[in-house]
Amino acid sequence: MGRYSLLDESWIKVIKNGEQTKVSLLELFTNTGSYRCLAGEMKAQDFAILRFLLAIVQTVFSRYDSKGNPYPYFRLNDMMQQDRPVDEDDLEDYQEDLTKSWEEIWKAGRFPDIVISYLEKWRDHFFLYDDKYPFYQLTKEEMDEITPEGKKPTKFAGKNLNRLISESDNKVALFSPVVAVDKKDLLCSGDLARWLIMLQGYIGVSDKTSYIGKGQKPSKGWMFDIGGLYLEGDNLFETLMFNYIPVHPDSSFIAGIERPCWENAGLINAKRLRAGKNINNLAELYTNWCRAIYIKPDHTDSEGTCLEIIKLPAIEHRDNFLEPMTVWNKNKTGENKGHYTPRKHRSGQAVWRSFGLIALRDCDKADYHQPAIMWYLNRIRDVVGNKWITINAVSMKDDGNATSWVPTDEILSKITANDLVIADTSDNGWITRINDSVEITKTVAGYYRNFILDIAKIRGMNSKNNTDPGPVFADNETEKLYQELNEPFQNWLAGIEPDASMNEKVEEWYQTLERIVLVRAEAFVERATTRDLIGIKGDDKKNGINIVVAYKMFKAKVEKKLKG
């Protein structure tokens, strides 16, 4: 008999009327527009929960229209036996119906009752504790079947499941909650459910036991390896709709059967991964497992949480354009040379510096692959109208150890802009002009770095390679410049109205950029030492340089770039 129904119990943390509260799945989909956003313990956890919720949305509305009627293109009872049951002759009509349904749901401002009906149909698969269909887990018998002979599943303590504590048995975390050590493994069922979903997206590879086929690599968690992106609206309903993609830009993924993990037994999910089955649908991708997990069905909140886990195979990273919520990098070296792979966000680097990777369209002349959520935003811009949208970036830092890849901290950033602006992909439209502004900002920052390198040279810092004091000094100062530019750039971007003059807005940013970068450079001149002012002589007593000359050269380059 199942216990702790995720349909009925309050376990999803949200913000309602400015306060945090917990709601059940049924409550959430009944009143989605009443909640501002998800509000779990970490943004990475919110991202994982968002994708879980999107898997429900993707599944339901691939099968039913906005009025709850099943699409006539396939028989629901038979379709799970096929990867793509819609006939080629019906594909165009099916896509039109999917798009029409999205628009009707958006205009209604709420999800129709078919979502609740779907969840009720699968109620038996949404119990956190169960001896038949435990949520996001395998049964004891299924775990025994996939456990290699002579091995045992790895024990995974609650204090490591909870990423706010995460510690080894030998070392207490610096910022652990103020409770007795033996209480850190205690998690209430609602907390366990949220962390369990996050665990399947972010874990690393430090555990030992594996269920992996020949030539396969163990999964760190698919979400661990991507530069996560999602669009945020005024409330949770809008956020889900902005990230719900009824028609994928890649035609090979259109009309694929949505296969969320809960519609299969846990053993089937594990075996599909080990068999190398390609994931061709978003619901399966969003609920992909990195571990086979077992929790005792009779577990109670009063006892310490301990999971048994087994590594599962990683899914394909190379050119896996099914994933719509990441930035992409075209590799110039290594085993993936010439191919795209997800690019994690970089610690300390604001997301606007990757604007081109996020917003620019695919182009034969450039190494860009636009995230599908941005592609779909362009398709719905006329329906959505004039709204401000936040682009959130979420990644997970690791310990840098290839034998463990332990998650250590979040990488978070965001920008807010008008949707008619960030979806304007027309030739020489807003996207192009904003990206040009970003690239020129990077060029000016490069001038600033060279100016700092000149100062380092004057001061006698070795500058032969990037580990020497000169380049390190220059890199640190350049990052300080970027940190100072972050807020002004984000405010500038958020202040762009769709009908504003592009030339005037770009010039406005260039004036701000010039002021900030010159003030920072002037501060070095004002604090110049005698050595800085004397400078150094060049070859044959020519081409010498001091800090004043370096500054004048730098200023001239900046003015030429921004005003030329």
376-430: per-residue pLDDT in tens?
A: 999 999 999 899 999 999 999 988 888 888 888 999 999 999 999 999 988 889 9
In this predicted model, what pLDDT tens digit does every residue of 155-167 receive, in sequence order?
988 777 775 644 5
Confidence of residue 176 (pLDDT cuts 50, 70, 90): very low
Q: Which of 6-10, 206-210, 403-407 has the highest mean pLDDT?
A: 6-10
The confidence score (pLDDT) of residue 303 equals 81
445-446-449 Cα angle (round to 5): 90
Q: What is the mean pLDDT of residues 284-295?
A: 97
Query: Would you call 107 helix, strand, or coil by DSSP?
Result: helix
Helix (H) or strand (E) holding 471: helix 469-494
Whether the per-residue pLDDT at 80 is higher than 60: the answer is no
Cβ within 8 Å of residue 481, ≥6 positions away: 445, 448, 516, 517, 520
pLDDT-derived band at 171, boundaries 50, 70, 90? very low
Span 443-458, average pLDDT: 95
Q: What is the pLDDT of residue 30?
A: 98
- On whether the pTM is more than 0.85, the answer is yes
Residue 281 phi, psi (nearest 5): -145, 150
Dig out the tokens for 199 from the structure: 């665990």
Lowest mean pLDDT among 157-171, 467-481, 540-554: 157-171
Q: Which pLDDT band holds residue 469 (cuts at 50, 70, 90)?
A: confident
Among 5-14, 29-38, 302-311, which stretch is predicted with the lowest mean pLDDT? 302-311
pLDDT (tens digit, 9 = 90+) per residue, 28-76?
Answer: 999 999 999 999 999 999 999 999 999 999 999 999 999 999 998 876 5
- Residue 399 confidence (pLDDT): 84
Range with the lowest mean pLDDT among 42-56, 206-220, 250-264?
250-264
Segments in 64-188 forming alpha helices (H):
76-79, 91-108, 114-121, 140-146, 158-161
CATH fold of 430-563:
Topoisomerase I; Chain A, domain 4 (1.10.132)
Three-state DSSP at 266 gives helix
Instruction: Tell me what pLDDT residue 458 has.
Output: 92
How far is the CA of 438 from the CAs of 490, 497, 501, 510, in angstroms? 11, 18, 18, 10
With 80 as the cut, is the pLDDT of residue 131 above it?
yes
pLDDT for residue 88: 82
More confident residue, 99 or 252: 99
Percent of the chain predicted with pLDDT > 70: 91
Over range 76-81, report the average pLDDT: 57
Q: Write down the pLDDT at residue 467.
A: 61
Other Cβ atoms closer than 10 A to 218: 19
Strands 127-129, 19-23: pairing kind: unpaired
pLDDT category at 256 given cuts 50, 70, 90 is: confident
Number of H helices, E strands in the chain: 19, 13
Q: Which of 245, 243, 223 is nearest to 233 (CA)?
A: 243
User: When comparing pLDDT for 525 and 466, which is higher?
Assistant: 525
Cα–Cα distance between 75 and 96 in angstroms, integer? 19
Tokens of 440: 């020129």
Q: What is the 3-state secondary structure (H, E, C) of 361-383?
A: CCCCCCCCCCCHHHHHHHHHHHH
- Residue 332 in this model has a pLDDT that exceeds 60: yes
Task: Give the pLDDT confidence score for residue 163 in this predicted structure.
Answer: 58
d(CA 79, CA 158): 39
Percent of residues, the chain, with pLDDT higher than 90: 77
- Give residue 173's pLDDT band: very low, low, confident or very high (50, 70, 90): very low
Average pLDDT, the chain: 90
**Distance (Å, rounded) from C-alpha 207 to C-alpha 549?**
57
Amino acid in position 258: E
| pLDDT tier at 116, thresholds 50, 70, 90 | very high
Q: CATH 1.10.132.100 residue ranges in the chain?
A: 430-563
Res 506: pLDDT: 97
Tell me the average pLDDT across 319-341. 95
Question: What tokens does 508 get?
Answer: 């406005």
DSSP state of 88: G
More confident residue, 32 or 545: 32
